Amino acid sequence: MMDEPEANTASEAERERERAALARQAAKLFSGRVDFLLSAPQLKFLPDPSVPEIAFAGRSNVGKSSLLNAITGRKSIARASVTPGRTQELNIFEVGDPTLFRLVDMPGYGFAKAPPKVVENWKKLVRTYLRGRAVLHRTLVLIDSRHGLKDVDREMMTMLDEAAVGYRLVLTKADKLKASVLDEVAAKVAEESRKHVAAYPELHVTSAEKGLGLPELRSAILLDAGVAETR
């Protein structure tokens, strides 16, 4: 009883050290080799499943390319703002030298003007990838802070629940909202995420523009990929 507070303090300090060490490892890794590998319009063009993969999903215009650029500290590794709906491919990036894991930029969904055939192809490609890719360790589902969860996001989350692929919800463009409004959106999204079995309990709040939440997200990616040197 007597030494409980002390033990807690010690383990909290230890956890903080581990967090800091992981953040340093992540910063170092992402400032090192990050290369575009290929675009896969069909699953047969995917590389050998030799390393863990972390997928990025979200509605068109959610800020996916910007976040990928910001995480990797590259200005245009994932070309930001190509015509919505045009990118119908899985874009694969490799991180580390030698490659420790891959980032998979999934085609944006929910684009209004896409013809049904395009949407159909998108669903097939994404579903098959998410369900069948053994090296897929985690998916990040990006949500625009200004809009919160939309039905297409819920559909994606349900698809991931069914495929038993764990996912993190990542709020983007947090700089566009007042802190109080942002807190409200975050609370709402977090509450709804609890109904989804494969959703991670904690939410990531990010801004590619201001760098908010990026160190934590980089660390999470290392943990998810199973390459973190500390726990």
Ligand X SMILES: Nc1nc2c(ncn2[C@@H]2O[C@H](COP(=O)(O)OP(=O)(O)O)[C@@H](O)[C@H]2O)c(=O)[nH]1
Binding site for Mg ion (CB under 5 A): 65
CB 103 within 8 A of CB 95: yes
60 binds ligand X per the rule CB under 6 A: yes
176 binds ligand X per the rule CB under 6 A: yes
Restricted to residues 132-171, the positions that interact with ligand X (CB under 6 A) are none
22 or 182: whose CB is closer to ligand X?
182
| 77 DSSP 8-state letter | S
Answer with the entry of Mg ion, ligand X, none that 207 interacts with (C-beta below 5 to 8 A by kind).
ligand X
80 binds ligand X per the rule CB under 6 A: yes
50 or 76: whose CB is closer to ligand X?
76
- Distance CA(84)–CA(107), nearest Å, equals 9
For the four alpha carbons of 203, 19, 49 and 61, in that order, the dihedral sign comes to positive
Indicate the helix (H) or strand (E) that contains 142: strand 136-144
Q: Write the binding mask 204 to 223 for ligand X: x where contact by CB under 6 A, - elsewhere.
A: ---xxx--------------
Say which amino acid occupies 109: Y
What's the gap between Cα 106 and its chain centre? 10
66 binds ligand X per the rule CB under 6 A: yes
Restricted to residues 96-135, the positions that interact with ligand X (CB under 6 A) are 108
Least spacing, CB of residue 92 vs ligand X, in Å: 16
65 or 72: whose CB is closer to Mg ion?
65
* Residue 220, Cβ density class (10 Å: 0-12 exposed, 13-18 middle, ≥19 buried): buried
With tokens 């997928």, the residue in question is 55
Say which amino acid occupies 63: G
Least spacing, CB of residue 63 vs Mg ion, in Å: 8
Residues making contact with ligand X (CB under 6 A): 58, 60-66, 80-81, 108, 172-173, 175-176, 207-209
